[in-house]
């Protein structure tokens, strides 16, 4: 016995000096595993401030709007009525009742007949994007993404060892001409682009929405080159007044497009529930590369109960004007106090203002803003090549700050610009 314990301790000793890097996969190394992390630098405050902090950081819903009581009631209902199934394994596709509810809702919104088999429920939009990459990407496959883009998705795609090209967007969303150029360039090197990832509505971080004409053009171009479109609709339901143009999925009648949705921005990110919507044979293929036995049947039933009783639509009706007003107040504050220092376009939905700094670099402004008690990420973190790609933009998320705080951003940012220019 004592011998055995000594042997085990000695075995443990053999591992003590082994560096984790020496064991990691290429995919893990590609996303920086085993190296000192820089994850904090995009979000952390570069300096201390004396003033109470106003945080314009993460793109998350206003916690004050979270329908806690309704979710509690839905969970109670499920546990009272259906505890046995809710607490069993639920299968890889996810609770059929929620997939049926999504099929009904999305058939109406996308104008395409959908069924439960058109949906795979997943661990948020992020888990959905990961599953699509897992099923369709080979290491080295060419993928086009927007530049800038949601950093989490860029990381996911890099984690699948894709050969990524970022193409620019403007106020009308992704530049289809730039996509055409990227396709030609890839083909010149004998590469077939496999996937194009886009956030067409109220884009993160720019707030831009892809115009209808560009949606048509993009679908035609991608069909001609057999590029699968991964359409991320994380913010689509959060329009201020008018819905965005029809989805790429709807316009193509569900062909050549996989659409990802999520409850994170419309209910709460802590639910960690999202979905992939696609042609049933594509969805079936995706389900084969899910090895985690699906997500919580309890939670999926509770969401189905919540959404099925009309509460989701009522909640959306309630939060849209809240975010519209927050965006108005922040925009007005910036125009009034920072007009000569910034340029931005007001989005028509979502959580973000993408602000161009005129004069000092974004990094200098961010540093100075921290001293004024403002926290937000710079634009560089939304590009693959952080050091090189963007020195001029700030992303201001207006979703969680109060109206009073948002009105205070303009004066503080003005002081930050003056400080950054040595005039403070």
Ligand X SMILES: Cc1ncc(COP(=O)(O)O)c(C=O)c1O
Cβ-based nearer residue to ligand X, 245 or 377 = 377
Question: Among 162, 165, 167, 126, which residue's Cα sits nearest to residue 148?
Answer: 167
The SS3 call for residue 374 is: strand
For ligand X, the closer of residues 77 and 386 by Cβ is 386
Task: For residue 26, give Cα distances in angstroms to 160, 164, 203, 289, 368.
Answer: 9, 16, 30, 20, 38
Q: Which residue has its beta carbon closest to ligand X?
A: 124
Q: Kindly tell me which of 232 and 408 has the beta carbon lying closer to ligand X.
A: 232
Burial class (CB in 10 A: 0-12, 13-18, 19+), 274: buried
Q: Residue 372 CB, nearest distance to ligand X (Å)? A: 26
For residue 293, the tally of other CB atoms under 10 A from its CB is 9
Residue 201 beta carbon to ligand X: minimum distance, rounded to whole angstroms: 9
CB distance 19 to 34 below 8 Å = yes
**Number of separate helices (H) and strands (E) present in the chain:** 16, 13
**Does residue 150 bind ligand X (CB under 6 A)?**
yes
Q: Helix, strand, or coil here: 13?
A: helix
Which one of 39-47, 84-92, 120-128, 284-292 is the stretch in contact with ligand X (CB under 6 A)?
Answer: 120-128
Return the range that interacts with ligand X (CB under 6 A); candidates 82-90, 148-156, 184-192, 415-423: 148-156
Q: Quick check: 93 and 287 in contact, CB under 8 A?
A: yes
Kindly state the smallest distance separating residue 150's Cβ from ligand X, in Å: 4
The reply to whether 156 sits near ligand X by the rule CB under 6 A is: no
Coil, strand or helix at 319: helix
**Reduced to 3 states, what is the DSSP secondary structure of residue 247?**
coil
Q: Which stretch binds ligand X (CB under 6 A): 146-154, 333-341, 376-384, 409-417?
A: 146-154
Closest contact distance (angstroms) between CB of 208 and ligand X is: 12
Of 302, 307, 314, 315, nearest in space to 94 by CA? 302
Listed ranges 20-28, 121-129, 131-139, 306-314: which one lies at the site for ligand X (CB under 6 A): 121-129
Q: What is the dihedral of CA 17, 21, 23, 25, to 10 degrees?
A: 170
- Interface segment toward ligand X; rule CB under 6 A; list 124-132, 321-329, 366-374, 398-406: 124-132
Residues 38-97 that bind ligand X (CB under 6 A): 59
163 Cα distance to chain centroid: 20
CB of 204 to ligand X, least distance (A): 4
As measured in angstroms, the least distance from the Cβ of 203 to ligand X is: 7
CA dist 195 and 296 (Å) reads: 29
> In the complex, what is the shortest distance from the CB of residue 113 to ligand X, in angstroms, rounded to a whole number?
25
**Segment 224-283, which members bind ligand X (CB under 6 A)?**
232, 234, 262, 264, 269, 274
152 binds ligand X (CB under 6 A): yes
Q: Which is nearer to ligand X, 338 or 396 (CB)?
A: 396
Q: Is 343 exposed, middle or buried (0-12, 13-18, 19+ CB in 10 A)?
A: middle
Q: How far is the CB of 71 from ligand X (least distance, A)?
A: 16
Q: Which is nearer to ligand X, 240 or 417 (CB)?
A: 240
Question: Residue 54 contacts by C-beta under 8 Å, 6 or more apart in sequence?
Answer: 373, 374, 375, 401, 405, 408, 409, 412
- How far apart are alpha carbons 116 and 300 in whole angstroms? 14
- 222 alpha-carbon distance from chain centroid: 22
Closest-CA residue to 42 (of 59, 61, 29): 59
Q: Which position among 67, 90, 97, 124 is part of the footprint of ligand X (CB under 6 A)?
A: 124
Q: In this complex, which beta carbon is closest to ligand X, that of residue 60 or of residue 407?
A: 60
Closest to ligand X by CB, 211 or 262? 262
Q: In this complex, which beta carbon is closest to ligand X, that of residue 125 or of residue 207? A: 125
Q: Count the residues of the shown chain that bind ligand X, applying the rule CB under 6 A.
A: 15
Q: Residue 412 CA to chain centroid, in angstroms?
A: 28
Q: Report the nearest approach of ligand X to the CB of residue 266 (Å).
A: 10
Considering the complex, what minimum distance in angstroms separates the CB of residue 202 from ligand X? Answer: 9
Which residue lies nearer to ligand X by CB, 207 or 269?
A: 269
Residues 195-224 that bind ligand X (CB under 6 A): 199, 204
| Residue 288, burial from CB neighbour count under 10 angstroms (0-12, 13-18, 19+) | exposed
Q: How far is the CB of 400 from ligand X (least distance, A)?
A: 13
Residue closer to ligand X by CB (options 91, 152) is 152
Binding site for ligand X (CB under 6 A): 59, 124-126, 150, 152-153, 199, 204, 232, 234, 262, 264, 269, 274
């Amino acid at each position: 016995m004592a011998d055995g314990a000594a042997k085990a301790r000695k075995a443990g000793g053999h591992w003590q000096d082994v560096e984790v890097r020496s064991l990691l996969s290429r995919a893990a190394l590609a996303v920086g595993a085993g190296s000192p992390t820089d994850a904090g630098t995009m979000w952390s405050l570069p300096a201390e401030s004396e003033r109470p902090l106003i945080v314009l950081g993460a793109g998350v819903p206003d916690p004050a709007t979270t329908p806690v009581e309704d979710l509690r009631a839905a969970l109670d209902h499920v546990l009272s009525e259906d505890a046995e199934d809710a607490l069993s394994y639920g299968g890889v596709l996810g609770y059929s009742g929620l997939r049926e509810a999504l099929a009904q809702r999305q058939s109406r919104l996308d104008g395409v007949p959908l069924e439960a088999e058109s949906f795979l429920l997943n661990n948020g939009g992020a888990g959905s994007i990961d599953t699509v990459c897992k099923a369709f990407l080979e290491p080295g496959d060419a993928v086009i993404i927007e530049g800038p883009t949601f950093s989490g998705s860029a990381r996911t795609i890099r984690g699948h060892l894709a050969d990524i090209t970022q193409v620019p967007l403007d106020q009308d969303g992704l530049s289809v001409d730039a996509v055409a150029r990227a396709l030609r360039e890839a083909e010149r090197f004998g590469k077939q682009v496999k996937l194009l990832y886009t956030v067409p509505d109220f884009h993160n971080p720019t707030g831009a929405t892809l115009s209808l004409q560009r949606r048509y053009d993009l679908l035609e171009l991608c069909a001609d080159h057999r590029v699968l479109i991964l359409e991320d609709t994380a913010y689509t339901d959060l329009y201020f007044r008018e819905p965005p143009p029809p989805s790429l999925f709807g316009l193509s009648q569900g062909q050549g497009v996989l659409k990802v949705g999520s409850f994170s921005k419309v209910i709460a990110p802590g639910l960690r529930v999202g979905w992939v919507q696609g042609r049933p044979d594509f969805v079936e293929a995706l389900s084969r590369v899910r090895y985690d036995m699906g997500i919580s049947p309890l939670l999926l039933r509770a969401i189905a109960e919540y959404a099925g009783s009309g509460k989701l639509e009522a909640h959306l009706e309630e939060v849209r004007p809240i975010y519209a007003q927050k965006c108005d107040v922040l925009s007005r504050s910036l125009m009034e106090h920072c007009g000569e220092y910034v340029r931005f376009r007001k989005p028509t939905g979502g959580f973000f203002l993408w602000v161009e700094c005129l004069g000092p670099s974004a990094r200098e402004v961010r540093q100075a803003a921290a001293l004024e008690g403002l926290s937000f990420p710079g634009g560089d973190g939304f590009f693959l090549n952080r050091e090189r790609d963007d020195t001029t933009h700030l992303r201001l998320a207006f979703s969680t700050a109060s109206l009073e705080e948002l009105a205070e951003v303009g004066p503080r940012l003005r002081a930050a610009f003056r400080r950054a220019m040595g005039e403070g």
